[in-house]
Amino acid sequence: MPRLPSVENLFDDAGLMRFAVFAGLFVLLVLLEQLFPRRSRSQPRRQRWVTNGALIVIDTLALRLILPVAALGMAGIAEARGWGLFNMIDWPVWLEIILCVVILDIAIYWQHVATHRVPLLWRLHKVHHVDRDLDTTSGFRFHPLEIVGSMIFKIALVALLGPAIVAVFIFELLLNAGSMFSHANLRLPPRLDRALRLALVTPDMHRIHHSTREHETNTNYGFSTSAWDRLFGTYRDDPQDGHERMTIGLDEYQDERPARLLPSLAIPFACSRPDASNRK
Ligand SMILES: [Zn+2]
């Protein structure tokens, strides 16, 4: 089996490269947040960071322990076995990469919409939305069951699509980088924000999605490009109360629980009041 070691090496290199981009961007964004903060914090940063940091460690372990393969691994398997649409047609690689990244990104947009509309999925997604401050660490604050469910969805998509491995790599890199950038507590010059928003999701654009006002939460679902919100009619320009005065989080969790790990992990299993579970 001469092929396997090289495929494994590719995954190792890809993992290392993804981690390097992730760590580099994280440090850069945290520095920029210090220099140009958009909002003052409502909770102590240390406690939130410990909780959000613990969640990313738990999420990473959950993915490794529960799933035998990730989306990138599935792309390798699909290629080796000829599975999926793109392994059946012989298109130029550049076209396949663009199409696959676009299709996967649209799918993640609709997955995000579903997490707000399906009550069971909303229970898990709430763990992300209860964060009362937004910063770079909010970009990876998710319940482990949501992360595992999302990875199963991506693995299934990759098995059906059969995209080039590099397309999955680029898509995941954009998703991670986009999630960190769009959650950053970062003040961009208004003209730069407006220019970037033509194509990308800026922190000001995504913050509206984290408003306690329900009609604002159900807008701006995109993580990396603003195109899908504009196309599917869920784009919103500004929050009703302004970026500095708007309340972030969920009305029923404006307390200490979001900054603590165990209460955060327990959120999906809490008995919810009818008004809390009926968010649409
Ligand atoms: Zn959301």
CA of 114 to the centre of ligand 1 (A): 10
Element (H, E) at 141: none
Q: How far, in Å, from the CA of 129 to the mean position of ligand 1?
A: 6
Query: Any bridge partners for residue 248, and if so which?
Result: 211
User: What is the CA(194)–ligand 1 centre distance, in A?
Assistant: 22
Tell me which DSSP letter residue 272 carries. Answer: P
Return the pLDDT at 274: 46
Tens digits of residue pLDDT in 121-166? 999 999 999 999 999 999 999 999 999 999 999 999 999 999 989 9
Best CA proximity match to 76, nearest among 196, 159, 18, 191: 159
pLDDT (0 to 100) of residue 9: 54
The reported pLDDT for the residue numbered 102 is: 96
Q: Tokens standing for 61?
A: 């372990």
**What was the pLDDT predicted at 32?**
98
User: Residue 16's pLDDT is what?
Assistant: 83
Q: What is the structure's pLDDT at 231?
A: 98
Taking 60 as the threshold, does the pLDDT of residue 6 lie above it? no
Centre of ligand 1 from the C-alpha of residue 251, in Å: 15
In this structure, are residues 214 and 122 in contact, taking their beta carbons and an 8 Å threshold? no
Q: Is the pLDDT of residue 68 over 90?
A: no
Find where tokens 């490794």 sit: 64
Q: How far is the CA of 209 from the centre of ligand 1 (A)?
A: 7
Could you tell me what percent of the chain has a pLDDT over 90?
Answer: 80
Q: In whole angstroms, give the CA distance from residue 40 to residue 6.
A: 49
Banded pLDDT at 31 (limits 50, 70, 90): very high
SS3 248: strand
* Ligand 1 geometric centre to CA of 80 (Å): 35
> How remote is the CA of residue 122 from the centroid of ligand 1, in Å?
9
The residue that leads in pLDDT, 10 or 213, is 213
Report CA(248)–ligand 1 centroid distance (Å). 12
97 CA to middle of ligand 1, Å? 27
- Cβ within 8 Å of residue 259, ≥6 positions away: 43, 44, 47, 48, 51, 132
Distance 242 CA to ligand 1 centre (A): 19
Dmax over Cα atoms in the chain, in whole Å?
A: 61
- At 220, list the tokens: 């701006």
pLDDT(5) > 50: no
- Cα(111) to centroid(ligand 1), Å: 10
pLDDT for position 11: 54
Separation of CA 92 and ligand 1 centre (Å): 35
Residue 35 pLDDT: 97
d(CA 270, CA 173): 33
Q: What is the mean pLDDT of the chain?
A: 91
How remote is the CA of residue 74 from the centroid of ligand 1, in Å? 26
> How far does residue 1's CA lie from ligand 1's centre (Å)?
44
Q: Report the separation in Å between the CA atom of 78 and the middle of ligand 1, taken as the mean of its atom positions.
A: 30
Check if the beta carbon of residue 78 is closer than 8 Å to that of residue 84.
yes
Can you count the helices (H) and strands (E) in the chain? 13, 0
* Cα of 151 from ligand 1 centre, angstroms: 16
Tell me: pLDDT of 277 over 70. no
Over residues 71-84, mean pLDDT: 90
Structure tokens, 88: 């059946």
140 contacts: CB under 8 Å, gap ≥ 6? 52, 55, 56, 59, 176, 179, 180
- What's the average model confidence in pLDDT over 177-199? 97
Contact 250, 129 (CB under 8 A): yes
- How confident is the model over 224-232, as a mean pLDDT? 97
- Token pair for 132: 């009362």
Asked if 96 and 86 touch (Cβ cutoff 8 Å), the reply is yes
Asked if residue 91 has pLDDT above 80, the reply is: yes
pLDDT of residue 230 exceeding 90: yes
